[in-house]
C-alpha cells in the first residue's frame, strides 16, 4: 500500500526549465506546489571541479543513469527495437534543473512560419509540396500570441543578443547586449555580409554582462571559460533553472521540492487526474501525492512514457494515423557543415561560451524560395565558439589515418587551426516516426521503456546537402586553405552524438483529433493535466528548442493559473 500524503494544489513531475518556470509563476500567485524530481539536488557550488572534460563530457556526470532507464530504438517497424545501452546520439538530463543545467544557452525564437507551417506551405506552394507521410500541422497558436511569453523568458534568463533581421517581430530588445565578438565570429560576419546574408550574434543565456532580472535575481557575467555544454556553470552566469526560477519559487514558501522522487503513474478517474504515484528511490517506498492539478514537466521521452504507462490519453497508432500520444516525434538534422583548415592562422579556439557565435537565418524556415527544392523548411547556419576541448577536438585533413604518427601530428597542428560552419536543420514529422512502449525491455522498476521508431527521410537528406553547400560557400569566403564539406546524411544512427533536441510525442494543436494538448499545454483528454516541454512541438525547427520551450512554459503557467480559478477547458 502506498503512503498517501495530504493533497496539494499542483504537483510537478520533473524540475527543469518547464517545471521551474511553472513553479515560480504559480507560487507567486499563492498556489501550493510540490515538485517531484527523480534526481539529486544541484547547486552552483557543485561545479568547483567542473573543468573536467573526462568526467562531464565522456563519463556523463550530469546525465541520466542508463543502467536504470534508457530508451529502445529501431529504424522502422520491421526491425526489433533494442536498448540504447550507452550514450550516443543525445544526452538525457537528470537532477534538479534537468537538461537546463548542461545546455549551451543558445536561445532562439522559432519563426512565425513554424507555428503555421501547414497553412503557409499550402498557401505558398500548394498541397503537393508536402510529401506522402509527412504529418506537419499548425500549432494552434501564432507567433504573435506567443511573443509576450518569449519576451518574458528572455528577460527572466537575461538573454544577450541583437535583433535577428529575419526573425519574428519583437516587442522589446534583448535585456542584455550581445556577447563579445571573437575574430572567428567577425570572419563569419564579414563573409556572410559579403554574400548578402544577414548575420546576428547568437542569442545567449551565458550573460554578456552582470544582470538583475525582473524577479530580482542577480547574476554575474560569463567568463568565456569554454565549459558549457555537458557542464554546469561555476559562476551561475549561464541561465539555468537552479540559479533563476527555482530560488524565486522557493522564496514564496509555497514550493516544496522533493528530490529522489521518481513518478511512475498519474492517478486518474473519469477524465480527471487525482494525483501521482511515485517511488522514493532512497528508501523504495511508494508514495501517493494527491493534487488538484498535475503538470508533466520532464523530458520528451518521459512525458510520453508516463502518459502511456498511466493509460492516460489516446495512444498513437501509426497504422491508422489516429490517436495522439507518441505522435510526431522529430529530431534535428545536424549534418550539413563545412570544416575549414587554416595553414597560416591560429585561433584561440579553447576559449568560448556555449552560446558564443553568429547565426544566419537566410536558409531557415521559409525565408527562401523552396519552389525548386525537394524539401521544406531549412536550418540555421552558424559559427559556434563553445570552447574546443582536447579529447573531443581532433580534426584532421581527409586522408589522415585515425591513429599513429601522422594522426598525432595533424590533430595537434590543426587543433587551433580549424573553424567550422554548420547547419542545424529542421526535422519534419512523418507518420511512421513515433514513440510507444517497448514490449520487451523494462526500467529498474519493471515498467516498460519508451520505444523510438525513427529514421532520416529524403527530406532530411536533401536539406543536409543543401545546407552543406551553403556552409561551404561561407567557409570559402572566410578564406580557409582547405575545406571539407560534410553533406551525406546517411541513416539515423544512435551511436554518434548529434543533438539533444528531441521533440514531439505530446503535441499541441487546435483539435483533439490531431493533437494531445491545446495551446496552454492542457491535455484534451484530462482537463487538470498539463504537459509542458519540447514534447509539445508538432515538428522541430532549425533552431535550438529551449527559447520556445521557455515561452510555452510561461504560456502554460498562465493557463494553469486560469484553470485553478475557473476550471474547464481553456480553449
Partner 1 sequence: MSIQNEEESKEQNPSSVTRRKFLKNTGYVVGGAILGGIVGNLIGKPVQQNNPTEAAGPATDYNQALMFFTIEQFRTVEAATERIFPADELGPGAKDLGVAYFIDHQLSGDWGFNSRDYMQGPFYKGEAVQGYQGRLKRREIFDIALQEMNNYSHTKYQKKFYELTAEQQDEVLTAFQNDEVKITTISPSGFFDTLRSATIQGVYADPLYGGNRNMDGWKMKNFPGNQMAYTDIIESEKFAKIPPKSLKDHVQH
Catalytic machinery residues: 501
Residue 460 beta carbon to partner 1: minimum distance, rounded to whole angstroms: 14
Tell me if 88 contacts partner 1 by CB under 8 A. Answer: yes
Tell me if 412 contacts partner 1 by CB under 8 A. Answer: yes
Alpha-carbon torsion (146, 150, 151, 156), positive or negative: positive
Count other C-beta atoms under 10 Å from residue 377's C-beta: 27
Residue 183 beta carbon to partner 1: minimum distance, rounded to whole angstroms: 5
* Coil, strand or helix at 160: strand
Tell me if 445 contacts partner 1 by CB under 8 A. Answer: no
Nearer to partner 1 among residue 58 and residue 368 (C-beta): 58
Q: Which helix (H) or strand (E) holds 147?
A: helix 143-157
Tell me if 439 contacts partner 1 by CB under 8 A. Answer: no
Tell me if 53 contacts partner 1 by CB under 8 A. Answer: yes
Among 342, 375, 415, 466, binds partner 1 (CB under 8 A): 415
- The torsion angles phi and psi of 423, rounded to 5 degrees, stand at -95, 145
- The torsion angles phi and psi of 281, rounded to 5 degrees, stand at -75, -10
Region from 16-24, 77-85, 245-253, 289-297 binding partner 1, contact rule CB under 8 A? 77-85
Tell me if 400 contacts partner 1 by CB under 8 A. Answer: no
Residue 88 beta carbon to partner 1: minimum distance, rounded to whole angstroms: 6
Tell me if 403 contacts partner 1 by CB under 8 A. Answer: yes
CA–CA dist 346, 418 (Å, integer): 8
Torsion, Cα of 354, 355, 357, 359 (10° steps): 140
Tell me if 329 contacts partner 1 by CB under 8 A. Answer: no
Residue 406 beta carbon to partner 1: minimum distance, rounded to whole angstroms: 10
Tell me if 396 contacts partner 1 by CB under 8 A. Answer: no
Tell me if 452 contacts partner 1 by CB under 8 A. Answer: no
CA–CA dist 347, 366 (Å, integer): 34
- Mask of contacts with partner 1, 122-161, x by CB under 8 A? ----------------------------------------
C-alpha pair distances (Å), 200 with each of 204, 361, 366: 11, 9, 18
Q: Which of 306, 229, 301 is nearest to 66 (CA)?
A: 301
CA–CA dist 337, 360 (Å, integer): 14
Tell me if 180 contacts partner 1 by CB under 8 A. Answer: yes
- Mask of contacts with partner 1, 351-370, x by CB under 8 A? xx---x--------------
Q: Which of 134, 76, 71, 117 is nearest to 440 (CA)?
A: 71
Q: Where are the beta strands (DSSP E) in 299-417?
A: 327-330, 337-341, 357-360, 379-384
Tell me if 77 contacts partner 1 by CB under 8 A. Answer: no
C-alpha pair distances (Å), 397 with each of 407, 409, 410: 9, 11, 8
Residue 447 beta carbon to partner 1: minimum distance, rounded to whole angstroms: 13
Binding site for partner 1 (CB under 8 A): 48-49, 51-54, 58-60, 65-67, 69-70, 73-75, 79-80, 82-86, 88, 180-183, 223-226, 346-348, 350-352, 356, 389-391, 394, 402-405, 407-409, 411-412, 415-416, 440-442, 491-495
Amino acid at each position: 500500500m502506498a503512503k498517501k500524503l495530504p493533497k496539494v494544489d499542483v504537483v510537478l513531475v520533473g524540475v527543469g526549465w518547464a517545471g521551474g518556470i511553472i513553479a515560480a509563476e504559480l507560487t507567486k500567485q499563492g498556489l501550493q506546489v510540490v515538485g517531484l524530481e527523480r534526481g539529486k539536488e544541484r547547486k552552483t557550488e557543485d561545479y568547483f571541479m567542473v573543468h573536467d572534460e573526462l568526467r562531464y563530457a565522456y563519463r556523463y556526470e550530469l546525465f541520466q543513469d542508463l543502467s536504470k532507464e534508457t530508451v529502445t530504438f529501431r529504424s522502422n517497424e520491421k526491425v526489433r527495437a533494442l536498448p540504447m545501452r550507452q550514450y550516443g546520439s543525445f544526452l538525457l538530463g537528470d537532477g534538479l534543473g534537468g537538461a537546463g543545467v548542461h545546455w549551451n544557452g543558445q536561445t532562439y525564437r522559432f519563426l512565425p512560419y513554424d507555428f503555421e507551417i501547414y497553412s503557409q506551405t499550402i498557401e505558398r506552394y500548394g498541397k503537393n509540396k508536402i510529401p506522402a507521410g509527412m504529418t506537419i500541422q499548425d500549432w494552434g497558436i501564432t507567433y504573435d500570441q506567443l511573443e509576450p511569453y518569449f519576451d518574458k523568458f528572455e528577460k527572466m534568463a537575461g538573454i544577450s543578443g541583437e535583433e535577428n533581421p529575419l526573425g519574428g517581430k519583437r516587442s522589446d530588445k534583448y535585456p542584455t547586449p550581445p556577447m563579445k565578438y571573437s575574430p572567428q565570429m567577425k570572419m563569419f560576419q564579414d563573409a556572410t555580409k559579403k554574400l548578402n546574408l544577414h548575420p546576428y550574434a547568437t542569442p545567449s543565456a551565458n550573460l554578456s554582462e552582470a544582470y538583475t532580472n525582473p524577479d530580482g535575481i542577480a547574476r554575474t557575467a560569463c567568463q568565456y571559460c569554454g565549459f558549457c555544454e555537458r557542464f554546469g556553470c561555476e559562476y551561475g552566469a549561464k541561465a539555468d533553472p537552479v540559479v533563476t526560477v527555482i530560488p524565486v519559487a522557493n522564496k514564496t514558501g509555497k514550493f516544496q521540492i522533493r528530490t529522489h522522487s521518481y513518478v511512475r503513474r498519474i492517478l486518474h478517474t473519469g477524465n480527471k487526474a487525482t494525483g501521482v504515484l511515485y517511488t522514493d528511490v532512497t528508501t523504495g517506498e511508494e508514495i501517493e501525492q494527491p493534487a488538484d492539478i498535475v503538470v508533466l514537466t520532464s523530458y520528451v521521452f518521459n512525458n510520453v512514457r508516463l502518459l502511456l504507462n498511466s493509460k492516460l490519453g489516446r495512444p498513437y497508432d501509426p497504422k491508422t494515423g489516429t490517436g495522439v500520444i507518441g505522435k510526431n516525434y522529430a529530431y534535428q538534422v545536424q549534418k550539413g557543415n563545412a570544416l575549414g583548415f587554416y595553414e597560416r592562422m591560429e585561433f584561440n579556439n579553447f576559449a568560448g561560451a556555449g552560446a558564443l557565435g553568429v547565426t544566419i537565418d537566410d536558409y531557415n524556415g521559409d525565408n527562401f524560395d523552396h519552389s525548386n527544392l525537394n524539401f521544406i523548411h531549412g536550418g540555421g547556419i552558424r559559427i559556434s565558439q563553445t570552447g574546443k576541448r582536447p579529447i573531443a577536438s581532433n580534426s584532421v585533413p581527409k586522408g589522415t589515418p585515425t591513429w599513429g604518427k601522422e594522426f598525432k601530428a595533424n590533430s595537434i597542428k590543426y587543433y587551433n587551426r580549424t573553424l567550422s560552419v554548420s547547419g542545424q536543420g529542421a526535422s519534419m514529422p512523418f507518420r511512421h516516426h513515433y514513440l510507444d512502449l517497448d514490449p520487451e525491455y523494462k526500467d529498474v522498476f519493471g515498467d516498460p521503456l519508451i520505444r523510438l521508431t525513427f529514421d532520416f527521410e529524403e527530406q532530411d537528406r536533401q536539406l543536409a546537402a543543401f545546407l552543406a553547400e551553403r556552409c561551404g560557400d561561407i567557409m570559402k569566403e572566410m578564406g580557409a586553405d582547405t575545406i571539407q564539406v560534410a553533406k551525406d546524411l546517411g541513416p539515423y544512427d544512435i551511436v554518434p552524438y548529434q543533438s539533444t533536441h528531441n521533440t514531439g510525442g505530446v503535441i499541441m494543436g487546435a483539435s483533439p483529433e490531431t493533437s494531445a494538448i491545446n495551446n496552454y499545454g492542457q491535455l484534451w483528454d484530462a482537463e487538470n493535466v498539463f504537459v509542458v516541454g519540447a514534447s509539445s512541438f508538432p515538428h522541430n525547427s532549425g533552431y535550438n528548442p529551449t527559447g520556445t520551450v521557455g515561452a510555452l512554459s510561461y504560456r502554460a503557467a498562465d493557463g494553469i493559473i486560469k484553470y485553478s480559478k475557473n476550471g474547464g477547458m481553456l480553449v
